[in-house]
Amino acid sequence: MGYYKQLLAGVVMLAVSAGACLHAQELPLRRTEFGATYASADVQYAAQWALDNGDNRRQPYAVVDKRDARIFVFSGEGQLVGASPVLLGLTPGDSVVGDPSRLQPSELRQSQRTTPAGRFASEPGHNLSGEDIVWFDYQNKLAIHRVRPGETELQRLQRLASASADDKRVSAGCVVVPVAFYENVVRPTLGRGRGVVYVLPETRPARDLFNAGTDTRRATIATR
């Protein structure tokens, strides 16, 4: 009788193990997929880190690679929605200089026209002109927005088309994207609710941003 009990227990254990294996196969680890889109090793690391650590909280997120002057936008599940060249702060650097929150963009000194690195909680909002934008550092008036019409529009479009990342250092600190990219990628993802924007540093190893902890800066919805 003891033999049959042991045999039965063995069968049960095998069934439980098989079920566990099947369950594990049904729930694969989520992976970011870039397909034919080029992304640096740092971008790939950051995008996967957000998923592995649940840091994006299943919210859409973006990774801004300042060294290559490119942005990558992902769904909450880590699916790449789109990538684009961007315009960034005129002056390289990873920190906010002085107190730019008290100044208008035209009043900023050259040293203050930086795009700071960090992890930012983003939210859609509006600027003073009523244009819909995505705030990622509301305190310092920094957002993801379209190339705006005006005297500098053609020059900025030419800079976006340039193969040189240095040519894309021209903004007051905001992340500026082509109009079509904003309308087709940014607005349907980050423009509909809260998200996360990871701006990779350029003056130190990008992975330091994640290995040493992240600096979370909560944006505030702007209705101006």
- 88's enclosing H/E stretch is strand 88-89
Q: Which residues, other chains included, contact 212 with Cβ-Cβ below 8 Å and sequence gap of 6+?
A: none
- Output the pLDDT for position 201: 96
- Output the pLDDT for position 218: 38
156 forms bridges with which residues in the sheet? none
Whole-angstrom distance, CA of residue 104 vs CA of residue 41: 36
Architecture of domain 31-218 in this structure? Beta Barrel (2.40)
pLDDT of 18 over the 70 cut:
no
pLDDT of 145 over the 80 cut:
yes
Whole-angstrom distance, CA of residue 45 vs CA of residue 38: 13
Q: Which residues, other chains included, contact 121 with Cβ-Cβ below 8 Å and sequence gap of 6+?
A: 136, 194, 195, 196, 216, 217, 218, 219
